[in-house]
Chains A and B, each alone.
Chain A
Amino acid sequence: GNSVTQMEGPVTLSEEAFLTINCTYTATGYPSLFWYVQYPGEGLQLLLKATKADDKGSNKGFEATYRKETTSFHLEKGSVQVSDSAVYFCARSGAGSYQLTFGKGTKLSVIP
Protein backbone atom coordinates (compact mmCIF):
# COMPACT_ATOMS: atom_id res chain seq x y z
CA GLY A 1 0.00 0.00 0.00
CA ASN A 2 0.86 3.65 0.05
CA SER A 3 3.16 4.89 2.77
CA VAL A 4 5.24 7.91 3.68
CA THR A 5 8.35 7.83 5.84
CA GLN A 6 9.79 10.96 7.33
CA MET A 7 12.67 11.50 9.68
CA GLU A 8 12.05 11.08 13.36
CA GLY A 9 12.09 14.12 15.55
CA PRO A 10 12.25 16.15 17.50
CA VAL A 11 14.62 18.49 15.70
CA THR A 12 16.09 21.45 17.57
CA LEU A 13 17.88 24.19 15.66
CA SER A 14 19.25 27.61 16.41
CA GLU A 15 17.74 30.58 14.63
CA GLU A 16 19.14 31.08 11.11
CA ALA A 17 20.30 27.47 10.85
CA PHE A 18 19.65 25.37 7.75
CA LEU A 19 16.77 22.92 7.92
CA THR A 20 16.27 19.60 6.16
CA ILE A 21 13.47 17.20 6.98
CA ASN A 22 13.68 14.01 4.95
CA CYS A 23 10.64 12.38 3.41
CA THR A 24 10.34 9.33 1.18
CA TYR A 25 7.20 7.76 -0.28
CA THR A 26 6.17 4.50 -1.87
CA ALA A 27 6.29 4.74 -5.63
CA THR A 28 2.79 3.42 -6.34
CA GLY A 29 1.12 5.28 -9.18
CA TYR A 30 1.70 8.99 -9.79
CA PRO A 31 1.04 10.69 -6.48
CA SER A 32 0.96 14.34 -5.64
CA LEU A 33 3.17 15.23 -2.69
CA PHE A 34 2.49 17.69 0.10
CA TRP A 35 4.05 19.23 3.17
CA TYR A 36 1.68 20.34 5.90
CA VAL A 37 2.53 22.36 8.99
CA GLN A 38 0.80 22.28 12.37
CA TYR A 39 1.48 25.21 14.68
CA PRO A 40 0.84 24.67 18.40
CA GLY A 41 -2.85 24.33 19.18
CA GLU A 42 -3.94 24.51 15.55
CA GLY A 43 -5.01 22.24 12.73
CA LEU A 44 -2.87 21.27 9.78
CA GLN A 45 -2.41 23.72 6.96
CA LEU A 46 -0.80 23.24 3.59
CA LEU A 47 2.76 24.53 3.39
CA LEU A 48 3.62 23.50 -0.19
CA LYS A 49 2.91 20.86 -2.78
CA ALA A 50 4.24 19.30 -6.00
CA THR A 51 2.15 17.39 -8.48
CA LYS A 52 4.69 15.74 -10.80
CA ALA A 53 8.31 14.68 -11.01
CA ASP A 54 10.90 17.49 -10.83
CA ASP A 55 8.30 20.02 -9.64
CA LYS A 56 9.49 22.27 -6.85
CA GLY A 57 7.01 23.50 -4.29
CA SER A 58 7.88 26.60 -2.30
CA ASN A 59 6.28 28.84 0.31
CA LYS A 60 7.46 31.06 3.19
CA GLY A 61 11.10 30.26 2.39
CA PHE A 62 10.52 26.49 2.48
CA GLU A 63 11.20 24.35 -0.59
CA ALA A 64 10.80 20.71 -1.60
CA THR A 65 11.50 19.01 -4.92
CA TYR A 66 9.61 15.97 -6.20
CA ARG A 67 12.35 13.41 -6.91
CA LYS A 68 10.92 10.40 -8.67
CA GLU A 69 14.27 8.63 -9.02
CA THR A 70 14.82 8.60 -5.25
CA THR A 71 11.08 8.68 -4.29
CA SER A 72 11.84 11.64 -2.04
CA PHE A 73 10.34 15.02 -1.19
CA HIS A 74 12.69 16.53 1.37
CA LEU A 75 11.74 19.83 3.01
CA GLU A 76 14.42 22.53 3.22
CA LYS A 77 14.75 26.07 4.48
CA GLY A 78 17.90 28.09 4.36
CA SER A 79 17.43 30.10 7.55
CA VAL A 80 14.85 29.08 10.14
CA GLN A 81 13.11 31.45 12.52
CA VAL A 82 11.62 30.92 15.95
CA SER A 83 8.19 31.28 14.33
CA ASP A 84 8.89 28.14 12.25
CA SER A 85 8.61 25.99 15.38
CA ALA A 86 5.86 23.51 14.56
CA VAL A 87 5.17 19.92 13.55
CA TYR A 88 5.73 19.17 9.86
CA PHE A 89 3.95 16.38 8.01
CA CYS A 90 4.82 14.92 4.63
CA ALA A 91 1.91 13.41 2.68
CA ARG A 92 1.11 11.76 -0.64
CA SER A 93 -2.13 11.38 -2.51
CA GLY A 94 -3.49 7.87 -3.09
CA ALA A 95 -3.89 5.93 -6.29
CA GLY A 96 -7.52 7.03 -6.46
CA SER A 97 -6.46 10.62 -5.77
CA TYR A 98 -8.88 11.11 -2.93
CA GLN A 99 -6.95 9.67 -0.01
CA LEU A 100 -3.95 11.28 1.61
CA THR A 101 -1.36 9.22 3.45
CA PHE A 102 0.67 11.07 6.06
CA GLY A 103 4.05 10.53 7.62
CA LYS A 104 4.27 10.51 11.41
CA GLY A 105 5.32 14.14 11.63
CA THR A 106 8.53 15.86 12.68
CA LYS A 107 8.51 18.36 15.51
CA LEU A 108 10.80 21.31 14.92
CA SER A 109 11.88 23.65 17.69
CA VAL A 110 13.89 26.75 16.80
CA ILE A 111 15.68 28.47 19.66
CA PRO A 112 16.87 32.08 19.62
Chain B
Amino acid sequence: EAQVTQNPRYLITVTGKKLTVTCSQNMNHEYMSWYRQDPGLGLRQIYYSMNVEVTDKGDVPEGYKVSRKEKRNFPLILESPSPNQTSLYFCASRTGGNTEAFFGQGTRLTVV
Protein backbone atom coordinates (compact mmCIF):
# COMPACT_ATOMS: atom_id res chain seq x y z
CA GLU B 1 0.00 0.00 0.00
CA ALA B 2 1.31 3.42 -1.01
CA GLN B 3 1.79 5.52 2.06
CA VAL B 4 3.65 8.19 3.95
CA THR B 5 4.39 7.24 7.55
CA GLN B 6 5.14 9.75 10.27
CA ASN B 7 6.19 9.05 13.82
CA PRO B 8 5.26 9.82 16.47
CA ARG B 9 1.60 10.80 16.06
CA TYR B 10 1.58 12.72 19.31
CA LEU B 11 4.44 14.24 21.26
CA ILE B 12 4.65 16.46 24.32
CA THR B 13 8.08 17.82 25.11
CA VAL B 14 9.77 20.55 27.07
CA THR B 15 11.43 23.69 25.78
CA GLY B 16 14.95 23.10 24.56
CA LYS B 17 14.89 19.31 24.37
CA LYS B 18 15.97 18.19 20.90
CA LEU B 19 13.50 16.03 19.03
CA THR B 20 13.12 14.36 15.64
CA VAL B 21 9.93 13.55 13.77
CA THR B 22 10.46 10.82 11.23
CA CYS B 23 8.86 10.56 7.81
CA SER B 24 9.13 7.67 5.38
CA GLN B 25 7.47 7.03 2.02
CA ASN B 26 7.35 3.81 0.00
CA MET B 27 6.50 5.27 -3.42
CA ASN B 28 10.00 6.20 -4.62
CA HIS B 29 8.99 9.86 -4.82
CA GLU B 30 11.71 12.43 -5.46
CA TYR B 31 10.00 15.32 -3.75
CA MET B 32 9.25 15.45 -0.04
CA SER B 33 8.19 18.31 2.18
CA TRP B 34 7.18 19.29 5.68
CA TYR B 35 4.25 21.52 6.58
CA ARG B 36 2.85 22.89 9.77
CA GLN B 37 -0.85 23.53 10.21
CA ASP B 38 -2.06 26.22 12.57
CA PRO B 39 -5.58 27.61 13.10
CA GLY B 40 -6.31 30.49 10.76
CA LEU B 41 -3.01 30.07 8.92
CA GLY B 42 -3.63 26.93 6.93
CA LEU B 43 -0.68 24.85 5.76
CA ARG B 44 2.73 26.49 5.65
CA GLN B 45 5.73 24.79 4.17
CA ILE B 46 8.76 24.42 6.44
CA TYR B 47 11.33 22.66 4.25
CA TYR B 48 11.32 20.63 1.10
CA SER B 49 13.65 18.27 -0.71
CA MET B 50 13.90 17.70 -4.44
CA ASN B 51 15.98 14.54 -4.05
CA VAL B 52 18.69 12.91 -1.95
CA GLU B 53 21.01 15.51 -0.42
CA VAL B 54 18.99 18.36 -1.97
CA THR B 55 16.96 20.40 0.51
CA ASP B 56 15.72 23.98 0.65
CA LYS B 57 13.81 26.32 2.91
CA GLY B 58 10.11 26.79 2.62
CA ASP B 59 8.09 29.66 4.03
CA VAL B 60 8.71 29.11 7.76
CA PRO B 61 12.08 27.35 8.22
CA GLU B 62 13.30 29.08 11.39
CA GLY B 63 13.95 26.67 14.24
CA TYR B 64 13.86 23.55 12.06
CA LYS B 65 16.37 21.34 10.28
CA VAL B 66 15.95 18.50 7.81
CA SER B 67 18.11 15.91 6.13
CA ARG B 68 17.66 13.66 3.10
CA LYS B 69 20.26 10.92 3.20
CA GLU B 70 17.99 8.33 1.63
CA LYS B 71 15.23 8.81 -0.90
CA ARG B 72 12.53 7.33 1.31
CA ASN B 73 13.25 9.23 4.54
CA PHE B 74 12.95 12.91 5.36
CA PRO B 75 13.20 13.58 9.12
CA LEU B 76 12.30 16.92 10.69
CA ILE B 77 14.61 18.02 13.49
CA LEU B 78 13.90 20.60 16.16
CA GLU B 79 17.24 21.30 17.83
CA SER B 80 15.80 23.49 20.60
CA PRO B 81 12.01 23.44 20.51
CA SER B 82 10.06 26.44 21.76
CA PRO B 83 6.37 26.83 22.62
CA ASN B 84 5.67 28.65 19.35
CA GLN B 85 6.49 25.40 17.55
CA THR B 86 3.47 23.76 19.09
CA SER B 87 1.55 22.73 16.01
CA LEU B 88 0.28 19.94 13.81
CA TYR B 89 2.97 18.76 11.39
CA PHE B 90 2.53 16.93 8.09
CA CYS B 91 5.01 15.26 5.83
CA ALA B 92 4.15 14.87 2.14
CA SER B 93 5.69 13.34 -0.96
CA ARG B 94 5.03 13.55 -4.68
CA THR B 95 6.71 12.99 -8.02
CA GLY B 96 6.01 16.47 -9.39
CA GLY B 97 4.28 17.55 -12.57
CA ASN B 98 0.53 17.04 -12.38
CA THR B 99 0.60 14.39 -9.71
CA GLU B 100 -0.99 14.55 -6.31
CA ALA B 101 0.85 14.84 -3.04
CA PHE B 102 0.51 12.04 -0.51
CA PHE B 103 0.34 13.10 3.13
CA GLY B 104 1.22 11.40 6.36
CA GLN B 105 -1.28 11.17 9.20
CA GLY B 106 0.24 14.10 11.03
CA THR B 107 2.22 14.66 14.23
CA ARG B 108 0.68 16.78 16.92
CA LEU B 109 3.52 18.41 18.83
CA THR B 110 3.13 20.31 22.08
CA VAL B 111 6.12 22.18 23.53
CA VAL B 112 5.71 23.29 27.13
Q: Which residues of A contact B (CB under 8 A)?
A: 32, 34, 36, 42-46, 49, 51, 89, 93, 96-100, 102-105
Residues B96 and A98 in contact, CB atoms below 8 Å apart:
yes
- Please determine whether B42 and A103 come into contact, CB atoms closer than 8 angstroms: yes
Secondary structure call for the B interface: strand
With A99-B48, A104-B40, A104-B42 already in contact, the answer to whether A42 and B105 are too (CB < 8 A) is yes
Q: Is the CB of A42 within 8 A of B106?
A: yes
Partner of A98, one of B31, B43, B103: B31
B90 touches A43 (CB 8 A): yes
Total A-B residue contacts, Cβ distance less than 8 Å: 54
**Given A43-B90, A89-B42, also A100-B106 (CB < 8 A):** no
Contact residues, B42-69 vs A (CB, 8 A): 42-43, 45, 48, 50
Q: Quick check: A97 and B97 within 8 Å, CB to CB?
A: yes
Q: Which of chain B's residues has its CB closest to A93's CB?
A: B98
Nearest residue, chain A, Cβ from B6: A43
- Report how far A98 CA is from B94 CA in the complex, Å: 8
**17 other A-B residue contacts (CB within 8 Å) besides A44-B90, A98-B94, A100-B33:** A34-B100, A42-B106, A43-B104, A43-B106, A44-B103, A46-B101, A49-B100, A89-B42, A93-B97, A93-B98, A96-B96, A97-B97, A98-B48, A98-B96, A100-B101, A103-B42, A105-B43
User: How far apart are A66's CB and chain B's nearest CB, in angstroms?
Assistant: 12
- What's the least CB distance linking A20 to chain B, in Å? 19
Q: Which of B30, B33, B92, B98 contacts A49 (CB 8 A)?
A: B98
> Residues 10-54 of chain B: 1 if any A CB is under 8 Å from the residue's CB, otherwise 0?
000000000000000000001101010000111101001010000
6 A/B residue pairs, CB under 8 Å, sorted by A: A43-B106, A45-B103, A89-B42, A97-B97, A97-B98, A100-B94
When the two chains form their complex, are residues A51 and B48 in contact, meaning their CB atoms are under 8 A apart? no
Q: Given A32-B98, A44-B90, A49-B98, A102–B104 Cβ distance below 8 Å?
A: no
